[in-house]
Structures are given as structure tokens and as C-alpha cells.
Amino acid sequence: MILYLFDLFGTAVFAISGVLVAGRLRMDPFGVVVLACATAIGGGTVRDMAIGATPAFWITDTTYIWVILATCVATMLLIRHPRRLPWYVLPCADAVGLAVFVGIGVDKALSYGASPLVAVIMGVITACGGGIIRDVLAREVPMVLRTEVYATACIAGGIVHTLAVQVSPGTVTASIVGMVTTLLIRLAAIRWHLSLPPFALDR
């Protein structure tokens, strides 16, 4: 139940990021909902399609849709000036959602018989796929393709998660260790502005 609540929390946080992008682009309410849904459940949907988990999780549990819709309404009504929020609030909340999504993605892939490598990939897709879809719809370069330590934190957390499963199979310990790893790396990147070196070719 605690993990499920964190999952809903992450869904709401990711939906907020979609609403903010839509607001910056001056989209209508339908566009706001589309970007919010793409960000919040896009990655999980791609994961479920890839591993054959049909129907997708939000079809069997419509709570996710209601959370997204409620988040859209609340954000449009309450957050008119996002720059007035402390700069670290949304990134830190996003880090929590990111860590939870990675853990859920890895666990679900393993439960469907995926190899550890595929499970890590599914964890990254679950956490980052929605943001990629959002940025593509907004005609922006996806954040995970820039130098920021974002997908890298997901990869590290997924690897730790799958390794912990080998040591302690069938327990929640592996999930917790993996999620904490992702969270700590992402928070460190936010706190100290860590980034990967860019690959640039001379013209």
C-alpha cells in the first residue's frame, strides 16, 4: 500500500510537470490533459506493451486517470506563477517519483520473466518514457538526452535493484535498495548541479 501511494504521488508529480510545460506553451485544457497523461503514464504504458502486460496498468486501475485529472485541475487553478515556488520543490518531488517508477518498472519486468538487463531498461522506460513523449509533443529535446544526470540515476538504481534481487529474491528489500540508490543519485545531481560531459563535434 505504501508503494502504491508513492506510485500515485509520482503520477501526480509527473502530471504537474506536463501541466507546466503545457502552460508555458499556452495550450488549451485538452492539451494540458494530454501532456499530463503522456508524462505521468506514458512510460508505464510503453513498458506494459513491451513486456506483454495487457491491458495497461491504468486501464485496470483507473485511479491513475483520476489522479491525473485532479492534478491538472488543481495545478491550473493554484499554480499560476510556478517561479514563486522554491526552486527545489518540484525537482525533489520529481526525484521521488522517478525512483518509485524505476523500482516498479524493474519489479514488473522481472515478474514477467524478463532478464536483468531488460528489467533495467524497462525501469528506465517507466521513469523516463513519459517525459520523452512530453518533450517530443512539445517539440523540445528530451531532458534525458541532455547532459543532466537523470536517466543515469535510473540506470544505476535499476542495476542495484536487479543485483539485490539475486542476493535476496522474493523480498521488498531489493526494490527499496534500488529506489534509494536512484533517489540519492538524483538528489545529489540536483544539489550539486551534476551533469555528464557533452559530446560535441567540431564544425
Per-residue pLDDT of the chain (203 residues; tens, 9 = 90+): 788 999 999 999 999 999 999 999 999 999 999 999 999 999 999 999 999 999 999 999 999 999 999 999 999 998 777 677 788 888 999 999 999 999 999 999 999 999 999 999 999 999 999 999 999 999 998 888 887 899 999 999 999 999 999 998 877 899 999 999 999 999 999 999 999 888 888 76
Cβ atoms of residues 129 and 118 within 8 Å = no
Q: Hey, what's the cell of 47?
A: 513498458
pLDDT value of residue 5: 92
Q: Rounded to an integer, what distance in angstroms lies between the CA atom of residue 44 and that of residue 39? A: 10
pLDDT value of residue 37: 98
pLDDT value of residue 127: 97
pLDDT value of residue 170: 74
Q: pTM of the entire structure?
A: 0.94
3-state secondary structure the chain: CHHHHHHHHHHHHHHHHHHHHHHHCCCCHHHHHHHHHHHHHHHHHHHHHHHCCCCCHHHHCCHHHHHHHHHHHHHHHHCCCHHHCCCCHHHHHHHHHHHHHHHHHHHHHHHCCCCHHHHHHHHHHHHHHHHHHHHHHCCCCCHHHCCECCHHHHHHHHHHHHHHHHHCCCCCHHHHHHHHHHHHHHHHHHHHCCECCCCCCCC
Q: What are phi and psi of 54, to 5 degrees?
A: -115, 145
pLDDT value of residue 149: 94
Cβ-in-10-Å burial (0-12, 13-18, 19+) of 49 comes to exposed
Residues contacting 102, CB < 8 A, separation 6+ = 123, 124, 126, 127, 154, 157, 158, 161, 178, 179, 182
Q: 195: which strand partners?
A: 148
pLDDT value of residue 135: 94
Q: What is the amino acid identity at position 45?
A: T
